[in-house]
Structure 1
Amino acid sequence: MELFELLEDMRSRYIAVYEAAYLEQLNTYEQVTPEVGFEISGDVFEGLFVADFVGVTGGETSAIEVGESSGALGGQFSGEYRGVNYSLDTISWDAMLFEVTPQPEELVGVDAWFNKWMLIEKQAFVEGQNYSGTIHSMRIDGNQVGVDFGSAPVEAIQGLFDVFAESGVSSVTVVTARD
C-alpha cells in the first residue's frame, strides 16, 4: 500500500471516530460547535489551536478533544517521497511527530503550508459534515514537527512532506506525539 493510501485509510477511520464523538456530545451538551479556533499561549505554532468541539450547557463552556484509538497505525511502514526517506512507526492521525534529518536551518514554505491548512478564520463546513478540513495544531521544536491533523485531508500531510523536501530534509521518522 502506498503512503498516502495508507494515510487516507487512517484519516477515514479517524473521521468516523470524530463523527461518533460529535453525536455523543450532542447528548451531553445543549449546544456543540465543531472545530473552534483559539489563540493560546504556549508552544503551538503562531499561538493557534483548534479544539475538536466546544460544548455549552447553561453558562458552562467546555473544550472537548476526541481521543483517537481506532485510527492508529501500529507497526512500521517505510518508503521514499520526493527524495525524502520516511519511516512510520506507531502513529495516530491527531498526534503525529515528524523527526527530520538533517535539521534544516529553515522549513521552506512552512508558513504558507500552515496558513493553508489552519483555517480558523475561513472555515468552510461542507454541507452534511461536521468538520471543515483543518489541522488543529502544530509545534516545531528543533528537528521535530508535531501536528494534530484534525479533519484536514491527506493532502495536508503531502504538503508537509513537500515542505520537508524543499527544506533539504533527507529522512523523516514519524511516531506518535502522545505521551
Structure 2
Amino acid sequence: MSTPDETTGAPVQGAPAPGPALGRAGASHVYLVGRVLEELAKALYTYGDAHLTSTTANGALLLPVEDRESAYIGPHRIGRVQMYAPKKTASLKPDHPALIAWAKEREHYRHNVLTIEILAPAVVAALKAHAVKVGAAVDKYGEPVPGLTVSEGDPTPTKSLDKDFMAELLAPERIEQLAMDIIAGAVALPGLTPSIEKGEQA
C-alpha cells in the first residue's frame, strides 16, 4: 500500500517536461536532497542577514542605510544587497470596540461605521470541515450550503528529513564553516568558476 509520499501520477499539465526517468527511489532521493539544500539555504540566509544587520565597533550598521554591496562569483555578478531605511507601518483593527465608539461620537466619522451581518466564523469553519470530510458542499444534515465549494488539489510530496542528521548538518559551527568556504571560493555553483571576488561598494 502506498503512503502519500509514494503516490505517483501524470505530470501536471503546463509543467516542464521531466528529463530522463529517475525511478521511484531516484526521484525521492533527488527531491529530499533538494529539500536538504533548501534548509541549508535558509540557514545561510539567516547567518548572512544577522551579520548584515549587525553593528561595527563604533555602533554603525555593517551595511549603512542606502548603501549597497555587490557580490561576484568569478567574473559573474550574482547580485547585490542594499540596505533600506526601516519602514513605518500603522496597525488599526476596524472592529476595535474603542475605535467604533470613538467614530460614533464624531460627525465626520459616524457615517462610516458599518453594520454588517455574517455567519459566525465557528459555524463557517464547521461547515467547511464537514464539506471536506464528505467531499460535497452540504452540511451535516445533507442540505446544500449556498456559496460553499469543495475542490481537490494535486498530489503533493512532503518532506520528512531525519532530525538527527539535520541537527548535525545545520549546527552553527557547520553553517559558519560553510559560509567561510563560500567566501573563499571552496564551494561553487555548477558551471561557475569556484572563486569569489570582492564586490565593490556603491
TM-score band w.r.t. shorter chain: under 0.3
Larger Rg: 2
| Greater strand share, structure number | 1
| Greater helix share, structure number | 2
